[in-house]
């Protein structure tokens, strides 16, 4: 053992014995004093020593000491020890009150940082149960149950460790001229030992990398500050390796022990055990005038390079930490400005709203230098540190304004950065994230400087379960730099370069459900299409499950169109946007299809039939409800695209056997109800002023009521409108095409018939291996041979129609039946109404073969 280590061991042993000789309560008091003044490194040493033999301490004192010790470890980013102590004290189920309840929240955050998300949810739940004010835990529970939501876009970015890093903390880079200015705790051969009281790490100075070419910068993505041109694009390979394929990736239990940087021996990852990391790319101190013997932190430059705003703790004392109490001995962080004159920074002065009662730091400026965002724990905030803004008018800073509850939380928001389009990036430990500090993004109103959108987590790999902060990038996030302690945790902050390789936003989940609007039942395996609105080239198709649902992950921050077409139903196009959707909760989109049972009176005299147009509000739709074999016939009359029930409609229900007419006027719910004879056909008419007349046939129910016939009646009923279902029909079945009627002595397809034939087109498309026979019939009036020829021409006309719609002619055969198969008693010499004769002028199709896959 070396003499240096022997002396150190002797000193520690003597100090420990001396501590145990005292009353333990007094040691706790000293530890509490260090804890309250944010001297966490010293507090850890005192608590650990006293808790080994807590002689004379009460149970209450021991619990409080352990909670403070655990929070001290959390504050210095030693999550392994923080978990150990929290688990020890909370497993005994102590009764926590007041501020101590936050221990459950802190432990949940520690567990998340250690990747133990399910267990973290248990403590978030306990925290939620014990207090009413802070419900952010609900959001963390949702995210922890779906971590993949923030990880699915990880392949879109390449993360690289850069060679300017050292064994000390290196973070918060900003562009300056053609290089980077960043914060570092390296000693730079200084003979003065300078440490923070918080975690015993070195005090910070500003360092400068003169040229980004040295780290293979391919594109800075932002205007170079203090320079007239952007940093040039470099095609040279970077000097570092991709994160995840090198020793910079956080270790696992299978790895050898990773030692960290210098610091307190109780803090994991901070003790120097023969480890040093020296920069491979040389940098230098930024300015002799700016770098003092105390702390200089994150800075921002006016875009012409003439002025700098920087963070400093200007007085002797502790580490200048945010959140310090007024009576503490550590001084506050403050913002200063300086001007570049005579090759250095001069005229250093405080910004007026600094105070000895709170801290201000971490500045960033908008592209026009008119708004500064910064971090402060000044009164009027939401808790912890908040992000504030101030305007720069005529050389003066306005009164700071808090960015509000959209950005700020009860936790800590810090390290803001504003890009050239006015998008704000910041880090938070209380917005739901992957662990500890995560980087978030929100659009801003460039006129007011206030938030104008929703806070978004950038997700992996820009975020990790460690601290991620201090980002700079361009408005498209093509490339940039960020700070993180993901390498070894603790206070070992390093700077990483990132390059976007894929999509900017990733995707967000939506659950699509498609229902029958009348029955509210889901469709079984229905196909639909969707696309980014206005971009038909992005169109894709999908099929729902047997439960009528499907989960999609759609490109984030976009508007979409969903197109659903189903036989017998009105085509639906539904708009959907995920711009305000959650990143980790699935959105829900319900689509309801309305049945296609619209009959418009084409004989209305206001316009010739061939040129008449009908607006959606002029269309009456008579929808049916109930059992098709019931003696009660009921339904609802609706109008317009949204199928709103309509009152004041005269409904006629005409018995085709007896000529008896039942009438009623619909009420506010648009409903109607009639009695019917099952063995008779009926005509249902709907009439209202300024609306087109709706008329449809309600066929009789066959006496033979086999199961297959009942299903066929449902399928063929005008209220359903579908033509064919391979589950219900077999080869040899003859299916009547509803409403395919012809004018007397004509074979040309009427426009109302063409609409019905579109259903047959969809049926043929849905069943590409089905072969059918088109059968056409005439009424019994006139010469039988002429009628046979006419029916053949009608059948051929239907075949030609389907061919024009893309159906192969080889799949169809047209057959004219003439007047040989009337559907009623209207034979030769029988007096019948025009409606009865029209029923015989019909078209059917017979299924010749079906080849199911």
The domain that holds 765 is classified in CATH as 3.30.1330.60
In a domain, residue 156? The reply is no
Phi/psi at 824 (5° precision): -140, -165
Residue 755: the pLDDT is 75
**Does 576 lie in the same domain as 602?**
no
Least confident of 30-39, 459-468, 553-562, 652-661: 30-39
Examine the fold and report which residue of 84, 119, 151 is the final residue of a domain before the chain moves on.
Answer: 151
pLDDT tier, 374 (very low <50, low <70, confident <90, very high otherwise): very high
State the average pLDDT over residues 315-324: 44
Q: Is the pLDDT of residue 77 over 60?
A: yes
Whose CA is closest to 519, among 568, 563, 561, 575? 568
**Does 79 lie in the same domain as 211?**
no
The total domain count for the chain is: 5
pLDDT winner (highest mean) among 116-130, 172-186, 636-650: 172-186
Tell which wins on pLDDT, 137 or 433.
433
**Does 794 lie in the same domain as 653?**
no
- Token digits for 731? 């080869």
**Does 394 lie in the same domain as 272?**
yes
Residue 282 CA neighbour count, 13 Å, CB half: 1
Residue 227: the pLDDT is 42
- Token digits for 712? 């066929």
Least confident of 479-493, 674-688, 710-724: 710-724
Q: If residue 783 lies in a helix (H) or strand (E), which one and from where to where?
A: none
Tell which wins on pLDDT, 191 or 588.
588
The dihedral built from the CA positions of residue 791, 797, 800 and 805, taken in this order, carries a sign that is: negative
Burial class, 525, CB count within 10 angstroms (exposed 0-12 / middle 13-18 / buried 19+): exposed
Q: Is the pLDDT of residue 793 over 90?
A: no
Residue 441: the pLDDT is 93
**Does 87 lie in the same domain as 52?**
yes
**Does 230 lie in the same domain as 81?**
no
Task: Find out whether 230 and 321 touch, Cβ atoms under 8 Å.
Answer: no
In a domain, residue 77? The reply is yes
In a domain, residue 717? The reply is no
Task: Find out whether 455 and 441 touch, Cβ atoms under 8 Å.
Answer: yes
Examine the fold and report which residue of 151, 171, 187 is the final residue of a domain before the chain moves on.
Answer: 151
pLDDT tier, 575 (very low <50, low <70, confident <90, very high otherwise): very high
Task: Find out whether 77 and 489 touch, Cβ atoms under 8 Å.
Answer: yes
**Does 215 lie in the same domain as 143?**
no
In a domain, residue 715? The reply is no
Q: Is the pLDDT of residue 2 over 60?
A: no
The domain that holds 63 is classified in CATH as 1.25.40.10
Q: Which residues contact 12 (CB under 8 A, 6 or more apart)?
A: none
pLDDT tier, 833 (very low <50, low <70, confident <90, very high otherwise): confident
Residue 197 belongs to what domain range? 161-500
Whose CA is closest to 686, among 761, 756, 623, 769? 623
In degrees, rounded to 5, the angle at the alpha carbon of residue 734 between the alpha carbons of residues 729 and 735 is 75
In a domain, residue 293? The reply is yes
In a domain, residue 809? The reply is yes
**Does 734 lie in the same domain as 643?**
no
Residue 273: the pLDDT is 40
- Token digits for 48? 């650990």
Residue 164: the pLDDT is 93
In a domain, residue 225? The reply is yes
pLDDT winner (highest mean) among 146-155, 225-234, 310-319: 146-155
pLDDT tier, 572 (very low <50, low <70, confident <90, very high otherwise): very high
The alpha-carbon radius of gyration of the chain (Å, integer) is: 39
What are the angstrom distances between the C-alpha of 370 and each of 167, 303, 310, 338? 37, 11, 17, 17
**Does 266 lie in the same domain as 346?**
yes
Least confident of 88-92, 206-210, 403-407, 717-721: 717-721
**Does 668 lie in the same domain as 736?**
no
State the average pLDDT over residues 736-748: 65
pLDDT tier, 670 (very low <50, low <70, confident <90, very high otherwise): confident
Residue 679: the pLDDT is 87
Least confident of 112-116, 217-221, 422-426, 671-675: 217-221
The dihedral built from the CA positions of residue 256, 262, 160 and 152, taken in this order, carries a sign that is: positive
Examine the fold and report which residue of 453, 484, 500 is the final residue of a domain before the chain moves on.
Answer: 500
**Does 606 lie in the same domain as 576?**
no
Q: Is the pLDDT of residue 695 over 80?
A: no
- Token digits for 482? 């960020």
Q: What is the distance between the alpha carbons of residues 425 and 444, in angstroms, rounded to a whole number?
A: 10
Q: If DSSP codes are grouped into helix, strand and coil, which group holds residue 768?
A: coil
Q: Is the pLDDT of residue 419 over 70?
A: yes
The domain that holds 589 is classified in CATH as 2.60.40.10
The domain that holds 491 is classified in CATH as 2.115.10
Whose CA is closest to 446, among 470, 475, 469, 426? 475
- Token digits for 390? 């101030």
State the average pLDDT over residues 269-292: 74
The dihedral built from the CA positions of residue 457, 460, 464 and 465, taken in this order, carries a sign that is: positive
- Token digits for 698? 């309600």
In a domain, residue 710? The reply is no
**Does 685 lie in the same domain as 775?**
no
pLDDT tier, 6 (very low <50, low <70, confident <90, very high otherwise): very low
pLDDT tier, 410 (very low <50, low <70, confident <90, very high otherwise): confident
Q: Is the pLDDT of residue 713 over 50?
A: no
Residue 794: the pLDDT is 84
């Amino acid at each position: 053992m070396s003499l240096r280590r022997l002396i150190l061991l002797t000193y520690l042993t003597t100090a420990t014995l001396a501590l145990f000789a005292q009353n333990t309560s007094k040691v706790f008091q000293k530890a509490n004093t260090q804890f309250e003044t944010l001297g966490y490194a010293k507090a850890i040493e005192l608590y650990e020593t006293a808790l080994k033999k807590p002689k004379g301490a009460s149970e209450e004192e021991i619990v409080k000491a352990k909670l403070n010790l655990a929070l001290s470890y959390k504050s210095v980013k030693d999550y392994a020890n923080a978990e150990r102590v929290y688990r020890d004290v909370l497993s005994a189920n102590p009764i926590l009150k007041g501020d101590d309840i936050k221990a459950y929240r802190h432990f949940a955050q520690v567990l998340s940082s250690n990747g133990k998300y399910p267990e973290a949810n248990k403590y978030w739940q306990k925290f939620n149960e014990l207090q009413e004010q802070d419900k952010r835990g609900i959001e963390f529970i949702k995210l922890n149950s779906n971590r993949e939501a923030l990880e699915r876009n990880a392949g879109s970015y390449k993360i690289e460790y850069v060679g300017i890093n050292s064994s000390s903390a290196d973070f918060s880079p900003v562009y300056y001229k053609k290089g980077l200015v960043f914060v570092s705790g390296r000693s730079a051969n200084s003979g003065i030992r300078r440490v923070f009281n918080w975690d015993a790490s070195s005090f910070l100075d500003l360092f400068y990398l003169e040229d980004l070419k040295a780290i293979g910068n391919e594109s800075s993505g932002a205007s170079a500050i203090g320079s007239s041109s952007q940093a040039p694009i470099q095609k040279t390979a970077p000097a570092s390796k991709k994160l995840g394929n090198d020793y910079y990736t956080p270790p696992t239990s299978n790895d050898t022990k990773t030692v960290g940087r210098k610091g307190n021996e109780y803090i994991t990852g901070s003790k120097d055990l023969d480890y040093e990391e020296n920069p491979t790319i040389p940098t230098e101190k930024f300015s002799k005038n700016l770098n003092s013997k105390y702390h200089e932190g994150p800075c921002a430059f006016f875009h012409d390079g003439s002025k700098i705003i920087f963070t400093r703790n200007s007085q002797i004392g502790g580490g200048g930490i945010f959140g310090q109490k007024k009576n503490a001995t550590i001084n506050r962080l403050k913002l200063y400005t300086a001007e570049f004159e005579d090759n250095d920074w001069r005229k250093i002065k405080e910004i007026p709203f600094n105070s000895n009662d709170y801290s201000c730091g971490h500045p960033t400026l908008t592209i026009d230098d008119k708004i500064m965002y910064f971090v402060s724990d000044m009164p009027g905030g939401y808790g912890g540190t908040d992000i504030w803004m101030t305007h720069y008018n005529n050389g003066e800073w306005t009164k700071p304004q808090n960015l509000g509850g959209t950005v700020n939380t009860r936790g800590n928001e810090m390290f803001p950065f504003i890009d050239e389009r006015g998008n704000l990036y910041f880090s938070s430990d209380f917005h739901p994230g992957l662990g500890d500090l995560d980087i978030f993004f929100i659009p801003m109103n460039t006129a007011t400087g206030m938030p104008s959108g929703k806070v978004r987590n950038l997700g992996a790999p820009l975020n990790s379960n460690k601290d991620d902060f201090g980002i700079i990038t361009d408005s498209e996030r093509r490339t940039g730099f960020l700070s993180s302690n993901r390498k070894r945790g603790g206070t070992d902050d390093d700077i990483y370069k990132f390059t976007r390789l894929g999509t900017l936003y990733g995707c967000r989940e939506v659950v699509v459900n498609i229902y029958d609007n009348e029955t509210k039942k889901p469709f079984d395996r229905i196909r639909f299409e969707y696309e980014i609105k206005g971009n038909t080239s992005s169109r894709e198709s999908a099929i729902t499950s047997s439960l009528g649902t499907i989960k999609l992950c759609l490109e984030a921050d976009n508007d979409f169109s969903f197109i659903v077409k189903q036989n017998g139903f009105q085509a639906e196009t539904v708009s959907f946007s995920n711009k305000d959707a959650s990143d980790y909760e699935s959105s829900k989109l319900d689509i309801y299809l309305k049945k296609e049972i619209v009959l418009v009176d084409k004989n209305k005299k206001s316009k010739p039939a061939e040129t008449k147009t009908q607006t959606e509000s002029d269309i009456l739709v008579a929808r049916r409800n109930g059992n098709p074999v019931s003696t009660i016939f009921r339904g609802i009359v609706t109008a317009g695209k949204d199928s709103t029930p309509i009152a004041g409609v005269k409904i006629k229900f005409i018995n085709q056997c007896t000529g008896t007419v039942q009438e009623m006027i619909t009420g506010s719910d648009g409903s109607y109800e009639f009695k019917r004879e099952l063995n008779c056909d009926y005509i249902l008419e709907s009439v209202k002023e300024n609306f087109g007349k709706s008329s449809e046939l309600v066929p009789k129910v066959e006496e033979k009521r086999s199961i297959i016939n009942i299903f066929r009646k449902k399928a063929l009923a005008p209220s359903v409108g579908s033509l064919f279902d391979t589950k219900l029909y077999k080869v040899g079945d003859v299916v009547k095409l509803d409403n395919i009627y012809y004018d007397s002595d004509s074979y040309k397809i009427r426009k109302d018939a063409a609409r019905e034939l579109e259903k047959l087109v969809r049926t043929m498309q849905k069943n590409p291996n089905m072969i059918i026979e088109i059968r056409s019939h005439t009424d019994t009036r006139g010469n039988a041979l002429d009628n046979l020829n006419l029916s053949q021409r009608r059948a051929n006309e239907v075949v030609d129609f389907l061919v024009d719609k893309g159906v192969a002619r080889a799949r169809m055969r047209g057959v004219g039946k003439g007047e040989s198969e009337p559907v009623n008693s209207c034979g030769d010499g029988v007096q019948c109404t025009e409606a009865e004769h029209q029923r015989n002028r019909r078209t059917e199709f017979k299924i010749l073969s079906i080849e199911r896959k």
